[in-house]
Structure 1
Amino acid sequence: MKGEPMPEAVPSAWMVADRPGVPVTTVADLIARNAAEHPDVVAVRQWDTTLTYRELLGRAARLALTLREQGIEPEDRVGVCVGRHPGLLVALLGTLLSGAAYVPLDPDLPEQRLIDTAADAGVKCVVGNAVFADGIPVPDEVAEVRPCPALPGNAAYVIYTSGSTGRPKGVVVSHANVAAFMTSIHERGRIERGDNALAITSIAFDVSVLELLVGLMVGASIQLAAESDRADPERLRRFMVEHEVTWAEVPPALLPLLSPDDLPLVRKIVTGAEAPGPEQVGRWTADGRRLMNGYGPTETTVAVTGFPATGQWSTPIPIGQPMLNHRVYVVDENFALVPRGVPGELLIGGPGVTRGYLGAPGLTAGVFVPDPFGDEPGARLYRSGDLVSWGEDGQLRFHGRVDRQVKVRGQRVELGEIESVLRGHPGVTHAVVAAVPVRDEVSLAAFVTPATAPDDLRDYLGERLPAVMVPSRIERLDALPLNSSDKVDVAALVAGLAQDDGVVDLEGVPGDLAALWSEVLGVPARSAEDDFFVHGGHSLAAMRLVAAVRFRLRRDIAVEDVFAARTLGAFAERVAMADEVTGADIETGHPPALSAAQRRLWFLDQLAPDAAAYNIALAQRLRGPLDVGALSRALTQVVARHDVLRWRVPHDGGRPYAVVDPPADLPLPVEDIEPGALADRLHTEAIGRFDLATGNLLRARLLRLAEDDHVLALTAHHAVFDGWSERILYQDLAAAYAGDTLGPLPAAFADYVAWRDERESRRGKDDLSWWTTHLDGAPTVLDLPRDHPRPAEQSYAGAFAGTELSAATDAGIRSLAAELGATPSTVVLAAFGDLLRRVAGRDEVVIGAPVADRRHAAFADLIGFFVDIVPLRLVSADPRTFAEQVAACRDELFDALAHPDAPLERVVDALSLPRDPSRGALVQVLFNVFNFAQSTVELPGIEAEMVPAGLPGSPFDLTTYLVERDGRMRFELVYNPDLYTASRVEALLEALVHLLDEAVARPGAALGTFTPPNLDLLRDGLVEAQPVPLSELPVHVVPPATDTERTVAAAWAGVLGKPSVGVTQNFFDMGGTSMDLVSVAEQLPGKPRVVDLFRFPTVRALAEFLDGRDGTSSALTKAAQRGAARRERAQRRTARQPRRQEGRS
């Protein structure tokens, strides 16, 4: 009996005493009983989609009614081919309620495999149209629930396993089998009502019965992971956290890829199919969680033995003892019981033993045999073919297979089936498949003759077998070696693989990846052109590779990157530029909401309402017979498709929000002009400002130079448009002009905002902490020597200069970048940063860099503003070589990209930087890269070319564009002419090009040895005096004395949440932000300009300004001095502290 020593008379048998309580009913009736008792409990959830038990049962009843109307009755078989969404549960339960047995047809399996399975099972119909065009759709309607007409002994489902004859075998499992399994697993695995049960397994695998059916039978809430949720360990972790999973069946290969610390709510874990690593037991049970290692063939329903593992293990984990009401025996080839410690074949008896194989009575009789050890009439045992032994502790140990069946990634694979399929290829004469150990797992290798066998064998197998059955390696030989018994010498073939240890000679990221690749696949990488999937890669292997890259290389790569960049070299390129954020799955249908970047642009618009620096101007010259009407209609279609172009941004009390207007015609006025007036007209169009509150943030104008010569001028506000959007706009415009229907987009810009906000809610706090630490002590102002005094308010004026790099310099940059494992833009950034620190006379500078946030595929074809600005802290030191400086810039860029969930405005606020209306906060110089192809609108019969569209202005003091087009690089500088003359900017360009020439020629030379021209000229100019350290003046809270002071103080106190405000206290020192200033402006009489609130940041100064005085009283001066003194001392303290970042190179 359980808990007692094994009977000596039967030393290798172990029987758990029969217990009453196994329900004699159907799966459907048990689930219906839960629905009646708890109708409003969530039965299944997938992110925001849920079905209660009432809803699930009602929809399933509707499907059952449809099936019955088609003549479906007990013992009929119905295919279920539905993707991983809540409708899958409706399909399964509806089929069971109809009385039929379901046949799982996973849409992710090869189509031919599904067709063959459906034919072999003799399905009467198929639910779901994922593959089968005539499939019955999953209903949204509900119907009255009728009792299931099936009996407990009727079939509940038919599931297919690998077959040694070359054909999969359909195992017929009854309702009674499943009910008995539910009772036993409830005792051992503890899935019960109130659990949030994870479901990640394909319906083609028997564990799905535990996750889905048993979960519903006990009243749990099923947390159904979508295909994308289970394809990546990080996404799966997030799914489990967000869905508050408490119970999970986790395959052994996934256990080391998940962290128990990240999943505190998961208290019960079932694993199985293959043994988990011993170290995983202590890892997962240290805090009292339950971990059960289960075992069971499909022919015995799901699991028949289990071992509750705890503590520290260094030996393989047992498979335990039989579950409730089951019997197991260990026998030799003569069916005699063997003693403890002696391996033998495992025989299994009990209520989980299924009917047998569909339509294969002979095969069934061979492995479902009469029970010679019991006294129950008609009882049968299943011959598992597994070698096990009893341990002295009364636990079963697993030793492998008696036959040639192996477990690959937790799934049972018959090697003979793969060989049979291979031999069916006309180019193959003989084939042998072997299981090859790879670390703690099994990989498959195929050996075929002749040596000239075709190269398409992998594709051939992939079309006929699941991915798990496609061998990692296929070796083509002239002949297969034979042993002394004239049988194929499989051991010699496998030994030959071990001797073939080809290596790959790669450095840097590709070299690191080659090592990880070999570890994961057990196959050495031979070159950068090796294909991950050709060499045996699969989804689980890709997950392991991704986990290894994240952990060892500190790069956040998603599984889709492995699929998209299949070769070692291509994948290495992705890894080199990866950040630490996982692209999440996209939920659609969100209402309009502003991103942090859009809110920043709105605030800047409030600060300078007459400026147009954030306009994006485009112009295309169109020569040929243009259909103006068709062009107008096409523009309207584009605006209808991309709803962000119909957004407007009003505000309520200083808080902006987004509103989307319904689709409407986009005006396209046509204007006749002379060619000589084109440039001026385009400039006028470019600088026309937008009113964000009223919308129309894209405008169009057609300038007619001649009958067949037009210029299309388009101007958009940056809040709804970025550089990448240009290509999308022209692409959609061309399609609509040609008469094509613009189909629906996978997501809208509002969905991006929600996706971004969700990431920030998870990672924003940590990222903000990183940024504040990283920038602590950094210079927050980069004031390059100027030709003109800095205006009191930022003017946003713009001018342009540019130059093209020589072919030699261009080639040198690219060559050095490849050598250092960097991008060409990183090489240029290193030179640019070093030049600016020389000109500014500093050891370090902060330069902003725009970063596109289109990392999810759903955003690739959206128009919108997907840009963040990251402040790069570039530290230079003369002893450092240029190559080291490039490496430092590369690391700085990677670190910055790894922390994208703290927008620039939040970083500025967290650093408590002083607001200065004369310059941007923290970032005054920008480095931007344009490396996408120049876009033109391809209209039929029209010759199109880009023409300069005018320069709306400069949002920064200086912006350097590295433009990579047509295989060449050039510099384009946009600068503020109110600060710099054209001659100074031309001198800066000349110095930068010269510095790059020297640096790429001598990358190993110290930075100080380079002598760019014009340094004296560039250093000579107007600069602001550095803050003079002042002693801390005592701060006295002086109450407001005038009516205006009281009005201002009340507004401040309300916005800042302070009980009182003194007239000399600084708004920003009290914790005020830029957005708070807008709210203050809304509450003050006359609604002063936001920029004036920047200029007068104390109550008294602002009150004096509002009263018509200049606001420059001595109290204001002293308050400003105190703030400057505090900030100066803080910067000096942090500058004296050693910084880890300075040591990177």
Structure 2
Amino acid sequence: MVDERITIAEFVPAVLRNLVEWLEKNGGDLSFMRILICASDSWYAGEYRTFRRYCGPETRLINSFGLTEAAVDSCYFESERLDLASDQVVPIGRPFPNNRLYILDDSLTPVPVGVKGELYVAGLGLARGYLNRQDLTAERFLPDPFTAEIPGVQAGERMYKTGDLARFLPSGDVEFIGRKDYQVKVRGFRIEPGEIESVLSQHPLINLCAVDARQAPARGKELVAWLTSSGPEPPAISELRRFMQERLPDYMVPGHYMVMEAIPLTPNGKIDRRALPDPDWSQRLSEAEFIAPRTPVEEILISIWAEVLRVERISVLDNFFDLGGHSLLATQLVSRISEGFDIDAPLRMVFESPTIATQAEFIEIAQRTAAGLKPPPIEPLPRTGDDRFPLSFAQQRLWFLDQLQPNSPFYNIPESVRVTGPLDVDALTRAFHRVTQRHESLRTLFEETADGPRQHILPHLHLPISLIDLSALSQEEQEAEVRRMAYEEAQTPFNLSTGPLLRVKFLRLSDAEHVILFTLHHIISDNWSSNILITEVALLYDAFVKDRPDPLPLPPIQYPDFAVWQRNWMQGEVMETQLDFWRKQLSGAPPLLELPTDRPRPPVQTFRGDYLTFHLPDDIGPAFANLARKEGVTLFMAMLAAFDVLLYRYSGQDDISIGAPISGRTNRATENIIGFFVNTLVLRTDLSGDPKFRQLLQRVRNTALDAYAHQDIPFEMVVETVQPERKLSQSPLFQVMFALQNVASEAQVVSDLRIAPIDAHSGTAKFDLTLFMQEKDGQLSGALEFNTDLFDRATIQRMAGHFEQLLHGILAEPDSAISRLPLITDQERQRLLRDWNQTDAALPEQRTLPHLFEKQAAATPDAPAVLFGDQRLTYAELNARANQLAHFLQEKNVGPDDLVGVLMHRTPEAVIALLGILKAGAAYLPIDPTYPEDRIRFMLDDSAAKIVFSFQSSVFSDQETQLNTENSPAHAQADSASAPPSPRQVIDLSALNTENFTSENPTASLT
């Protein structure tokens, strides 16, 4: 550059980094340069300052931004002193003359300062479009909607949609963030890699870095960081993790770091992300360095974790929930730990001891002390081929309800799946028949005997499966018929004594598309069981179409084994210990959650229902999960706490009981059995004292963990023991249910078939209201099931909007008191504050307040005008008293623009005084009796008040007249209750209000 006498040059940041490295090794400087321009990529403030040291005092150092579509450079930034942290990106500055920069949202509305949006460029340098690419031109070159607001700019000019993200800084400069189309999604979070790179580059030993998301085997996408080091030794991975965790939320911290000799670059000097290599996926993902198991207990625990979490390499310091654990997996974990170590591990243990190391300590102590009442294993009972067994507690309750209300579809579980691909109907039929043979629940009838109800296991069951051909119908007609038949199936009751309690229908839409409807009675199934049924049918179908035998292992036990085990175990000390907890927990709980309903509650509870689905914005699910992790709670607990707040705000009650289903499969042997295992817990939350949301999270956590520890007692026994007030119009103990589904029914691909669940509803509602939330790929969606005899669909629609608004508010301010969290939407706020308040009307001119009050008193003389404790004044009484006082004042020659002091507390007499003064045509001076004596005397002297009304004698007796119920100056004027002649005009003085009380002499304003 010296030899060629170059004094002006433009480089990309990667070239400048290499130039700095060369200068550091070989010496020299760039003081001979007049102008150095950096362009085309992000440049960090630390690099800017480093490079500045090699330039002369007269060298201009410029960061520019431009596009080919806008004649290359559109804006620039130049500063002698850069007051930015080293990890911040150097701004791209302001537009060149005759250029314009906009930062807009998706609706082309300008975003506020500091808010991220898409960068648009306009001005004289803009190209006319792309050659022979009219479609792309129309997509990128848009009409400029702001031309009318800019002097000298012609209407019809266009602006260019850059696809870049940026934001305006308070200084007016623009900060470049990165490509809009270069966002990655990891565990449901949308992430800008550039933001992570900006922080990582701040590390003193990092020269250049890149961050991207890569697909990890069997684990989904994970963040990877590639870096080159500026020191003799690269920083340790653990140091990098700590460095990033101190500066970024957990979901933005890379799990893998690769130190490289050089970052690959494209020919134009930008990072070549496609050339970045995949990392070694065995590298640790958690915040701790890998520590291998040190004891036999830790070794066994690691194998159990690996099975439950499906993670291969686990450190003893890894956190269960950081590796993808949730409450459902925690249940599986404790069942395996209990079985593997012969202890009774409570679910609370996973939350309080979430690492291998701490769980090993718990196990060793439990083994030494043999603490707790450990349930015995479930043993298979002998079979004779035509067996009858007692019912489980939950089954007995459903059987009893069926006897009370036979032929009811209330406890139907309808399911439907869409099958795309060439379906072998015979193989699918064989698969369903095989599943009925595998699971005794599907071959069970219920009989009443002298010993009570019994479940009768049939040795074989002929399951009628009908095939209905809908292929002749149009697509719209097919979908309508599918919906009709699904609803009809859901509404068709079962006969528990004759069965079968499973119905299956195949609906043929075409050779390559079918819908399968199957419905089970709840007495033999639950939602977990439905997933087992679908999974096993798919696996069996895959085997049968390939002429292979049944690949599934035989279940270790059957549901009747569980029913007998439950009755043998849940008695004596075990039962009393659990029941005693629930007696205390639910003692004094309100019998009814009084939500505002659209109609009165029917005298007898109905179960007519509907449901409304909703999807939450993409950012809520990951952010809420992150909040839950930081607070040491599960997503279920966090969502339950939010739902508690919603119900608290709707009902005004601070003692709320909500029902929550729990799998009931605490024993590992039950995990793959079809049957009615699900139990219901009553989660009673104390919201008193207006706690902050973070505080409420801990209350909910403790409530849930205590309930989990006593989950084995059937809900039916809890109701019988607590003995709540029973009414036919409501369900006992709770009327609102909450459920979070961590395991969603997802599409499966089997033998060229795609099997996907179809949302269906039975048209019933078991409770007043149920909120179902589902977490999938980090995103949250929900459904509100509601009783249609209580709520309108529009009401539930608003409730869903309020819930979303509440979640946004919680994430924005988790330390806010729950009463202050936002609830209403922007549209509702507009309607409440503006649309419904358009009540302005022209008032008659030259009408004063006394005239308007007398008109109201004549219209509603007996209506209450003043209420104060036990005192009550009607409009007629207040008008008469005020008239008496006005006559008194006029006799004292008090009139327009005269001031009358009112030295009173807020009492009915104060209202009489103010109104009487206005009727007399005078103005009032309100004085707080608690003011210091000197202040009051100043106010009276300064205002030249003619008279002072007070409620009792004071130091100003020379100037005041007492006004009270017993001794009013108007009592002598009993015949003066009629309105006095009013000399008041609209423009007359009405009041003198003192201000600026902190000064020695207060100021005042006239009204």
Q: TM-score range by the shorter chain?
A: 0.3 to 0.5
TM-score, normalised on structure 1? Answer: 0.40
Looking at CA atoms only, which structure, 1 or 2, has the larger radius of gyration?
A: 2
